[in-house]
Amino acid sequence: MKDYVEVFFHSQQPYIHVKEEDLEKYDSGRLGFPNTYFDPEKAHVLYNQYHEEYQLADEAGLDGIMTNEHHAAYWNMKPSANIDAAVISRLTKKVRIAILGNILPINDPVRMAEELAMLDCYSQGRLISGFVRGGAVETLQAGISPTENRDRFEEAHDLIIKCWTQPGPFRFALDRVQREAVDQPLLDDRGGERIDRFAILFVEADVERGNRQLVDGEGLLFGHDGAFLGWALRGVRMSSDRCGLKGMGSRRTSSLMFISPAIPVDAAAAGAAPGPDRPGARSRGVGR
């Protein structure tokens, strides 16, 4: 078990050309904000800029790069984390590639298993695959009732793990996910840490599931501040005890991730930096 801090680079890849006065016209900066503000030519420039940052992170010797998925979000131009991870795998040579994470309730689980297996091969085992439930906006924009979110997540997760670990073809049938003949490539275990970590996000039920159902993986706590992580650690310890694990000494509950934004170091720059009440930092109204 590692006893040192690892540093991963992350960028939300925002579309920076949205202004506060643009947002003020709508009741929501997400579901109500139209795509007419999006200029593909400007996005092309931004994407290439963000990709150059990936290369710099690899050259600087960082341990990894983290990418994620959001929808209906001008502040995140990554509706597909897997496409972004494919770019990272091509542009970099050493960093591990953490996806935190694919939103399982709104995606096809068999295709997800296929794409992640491809990424595992592209990167020669550098992939760390995280699964998340997503927020209300992602669920609603996909035309799915938020009440189905957890069930869809759990069924999709179980099918993906089965695709990666069980020889096929096999039949998989639960309430919301049914497949008659699933026959997907098994994962190569050369990478050691590979693809089998699980992203435990925010609620005790997810911590419980992560402890009980990880496939030889590490628990990963995802937090923005010390107050949240203090609460989450208490939940992990209680859950680990119930599951017969060894608390924070267990490999399954040994990894923590702090989200530390890149912030200006001087007062003048800090005044211009995006914050919760400044342009480029918020999504007003429903689903912010």
User: Model confidence over 33-64: pLDDT tens digits?
Assistant: 999 999 999 999 999 999 999 999 999 999 99
Chain segment 4-30, per-residue pLDDT in tens: 678 899 999 999 999 999 999 999 888
Band (169; pLDDT cuts 50, 70, 90): confident
Q: What pLDDT score does 46 carry?
A: 96
- In this predicted structure, what is the pLDDT of residue 246? 54
According to the model, what pLDDT value does residue 165 have? 81
* pLDDT category of residue 78 using cuts at 50, 70 and 90: very high
Q: Under a CB-based contact definition with an 8 Å cutoff, are residues 252 and 208 in contact?
A: no
Identify the pLDDT of residue 161.
Answer: 84
Does 122 fall in a domain? yes
From 105, 100, 30, 115, select the one nearest 69 (Cα to Cα). 100
Give the Cα-Cα-Cα angle 263, 269, 275 (nearest 5 degrees). 55
The verdict on residue 156 lying in a domain is: yes
The CATH number of the domain holding residue 57 is: 3.20.20.30
Band (233; pLDDT cuts 50, 70, 90): low
Per the structure, the count of domains in the chain is 1
Q: Looking at residue 192, what is its pLDDT?
A: 36
Residue 201's pLDDT is: 40
pLDDT surpassing 90 at residue 164? no
Tell me if 91 is assigned to some domain. yes
Q: Which two tokens stand for residue 63?
A: 């341990």
Average pLDDT of the residues of the chain = 74
53 versus 209: the higher-pLDDT residue is: 53
The answer to whether the CB of 238 falls within 8 A of the CB of 245 is no
Q: Which residue has the higher pLDDT, 107 or 169?
A: 107
Q: Looking at the predicted structure, is the pLDDT value of residue 139 above 60? A: yes
Q: What is the domain range of residue 156?
A: 8-192+259-272
| Distance of alpha carbon 268 from alpha carbon 234, whole angstroms | 39
Q: Is the pLDDT of residue 120 over 80?
A: yes
Show the tokens assigned to 255.
């990894």
Answer whether residue 150 is part of any domain: yes
Q: What percent of the chain has pLDDT over 90?
A: 36
**Predicted pLDDT at 279:** 37
- pLDDT at residue 110 tops 70: yes
Tell me if 213 sits within 8 A of 243, measured CB to CB: no
* Residue 15 and residue 75 in contact, taking contact as beta carbons nearer than 8 Å: yes
Per the model's pLDDT, the better-predicted residue between 18 and 226 turns out to be 18
DSSP symbols for 104-141: GGGS-HHHHHHHHHHHHHHTTS-EEEEEE---HHHHHH
> What pLDDT digit, counting tens, does each position of 242-283 carry?
666 554 444 444 455 555 555 444 444 444 444 433 333 333
**What is the C-alpha radius of gyration for the chain, rounded to an integer number of angstroms?**
20
| Statement: residue 114 has pLDDT above 60 | yes
Q: Which has the higher per-residue pLDDT, 274 or 69?
A: 69
Q: What is the per-residue burial (b if ≥16 Cβ within 10 Å, else e) of 98-137? A: bbbbbbbbbbebbebbbbbbbbbeebebbbbbbbbbbbeb
Assess if residue 244 is contained within a domain. Answer: no
What per-residue confidence (pLDDT) applies to 189? 45
Task: Report, as an integer, the average pLDDT of 172-184.
Answer: 58
Rounded CA gap, 131 and 138, in Å? 14
CB atoms inside a 10 Å sphere around CB 84: 24
Q: What is the pLDDT of residue 52?
A: 96
The CB density around residue 224, as the number of other CB atoms within 10 Å, is 13
* Domain assignment present for 86: yes
Which secondary structure element, helix H or strand E, spans residue 103, and what is its range? strand 96-103
Is residue 237 domain-resident? no
Query: Which DSSP state fits 60?
Result: T
Q: Is residue 36 part of a domain?
A: yes
pTM over 0.75: no
